[in-house]
Amino acid sequence: MSTPPTILLEDTPTPSEALLALLHAHLPHSIAVLRHLQSARNFPGGSTPTTHILYAHHSETDAEGDTNAPFAAAFVDLARAPETQLSIYSSLERSTNERTSTTSSSSNGAVEPGDYHWAGRPLQDEAALDLVLALFRRTRALAIRASTEQQQDTTTMMVTTTTPLVGSLHETWEFNGKWLFRVEDLPREEGWSLPQGVRWDRVRREDAGVVQGRTRVTRLPETLLMLPSTVMRLEDGTPIAWAFMGLDGTLMTLHVEEPYRQRGLAKALACKLMREHISDYSDDGWGAADVYVGNSQSQALCRSIGGKKSWILSWAKVDLSTVGDPM
C-alpha cells in the first residue's frame, strides 16, 4: 500500500498572490472562495482579526505553476455568525464538473442533483478529499482556540461555534443554482430609463433597517454597509429598489418595492450593479448569483440578463467534532 502524500497546510490572515492566481486559474468554479479572498484584500472590514485564509496542498505535487495539482482553499471567519463563516473550494470541483458535463440531466448543461457519483472514486480524488478534511480539521482547531480565549476574556462579544455555517458548498442535496454572468454579455443600460423622480445611489446606513426588514436571510448592518450596492431612490430619499454584491461576489438581496415591480427595474438594477462593481473584486469579468431552485422569478431574471445556470450548491452546518483531530 502506497504512503499517502504529505499535506502542507498554510494559515494566513490575508491571501497570497500565488493562491489568488491559482484560484483565478480555476474560474468559474472557484468564484465563491476567490471573491471572499478578494473581499478580504480589497474591502475595508473584509478582513478581521478572526479571518483565516487556509490553503492545503501536497508537497510532492506542488510544482510551481501547476494548476492541475490537487489543492483546497478556504475563507474562515468564525466570528461572522449568523452569516456564512466558512467557504471552501476544492480542485475536485473542477474535475467533477468536467466528468459530469457530458452526462448532465439539465437541458442547459448545468450539473444537477444525482449527477455526482461519489462511490468508487479514483485515488487522486481521495487524496483531494483529504485536503478538504485538513481544512475542516484546522477550522476545528481555530474554533477550540477561540472558545478558550472567549472563556478567558469575559469582556469579548465575539461569537464562535463548533458547528460553523459553510457556504456555497458544491454538492447535490440542496438547493440553490449557481448562475454565472459575463460583464460583456450583460444588457446595456441605454434602453432603460428610471421612473420620473427616481435617482441612482448607494445604500446608506439609514437604509439598513428597511433592507433587513425585506429579506429572510440574516444580514448584519456592518456587513451590508461594507458591500458594493446600488439603490433607486425617490426625491425624498425613500429607497424603492436595491441590490448588493456579497463578500463571495454574488448578486444578493435584490428587492423592488411592490408598487414599482413589472417595470424592468430589477433587470436594470442587477446589470448596473454588476457592471460597475465586479471590478471592485477583480478584472476577470465574472459575475454570479445563488438562486433557490424553486424561485422561478429570480431564475427568469438571471436568464434575461444573460446568466447561465452552472451547478447546484448548498449551505450546511458542519459538526467539527466529527472531522478528526484538530490540525
Domain boundaries, the chain: 7-175+315-322, 183-312
Share of the chain above pLDDT 70, in %: 81
What burial class does residue 140 get, using C-beta atoms within 10 Å of its C-beta: 0-12 exposed, 13-18 middle, 19+ buried? buried
pLDDT interval class at 316 (50, 70, 90): confident
Query: What would the pLDDT profile of 98-147 be if each residue is shown by its tens digit?
Result: 544 433 444 444 444 444 444 445 666 888 999 999 999 999 999 999 88
For 83, the grid coordinates are 452569516
pTM: 0.85
pLDDT the model gives residue 170: 52
Mean pLDDT in the chain? 85
What letter represents residue 53's amino acid?
Answer: I
- pLDDT value at 17 more than 60: yes
Fold entry, domain 183-312? Aminopeptidase (3.40.630)
- pLDDT value at 246 more than 60: yes
CA distances from 156 to 29, 126, 170, 296 (A): 37, 40, 34, 43
pLDDT interval class at 149 (50, 70, 90): confident
Mean pLDDT lowest among 87-101, 241-255, 305-319: 87-101
CA 21, 23, 24 angle in degrees (round to 5)? 60
Which of 230, 287, 286 is closest to 253 using CA atoms? 230
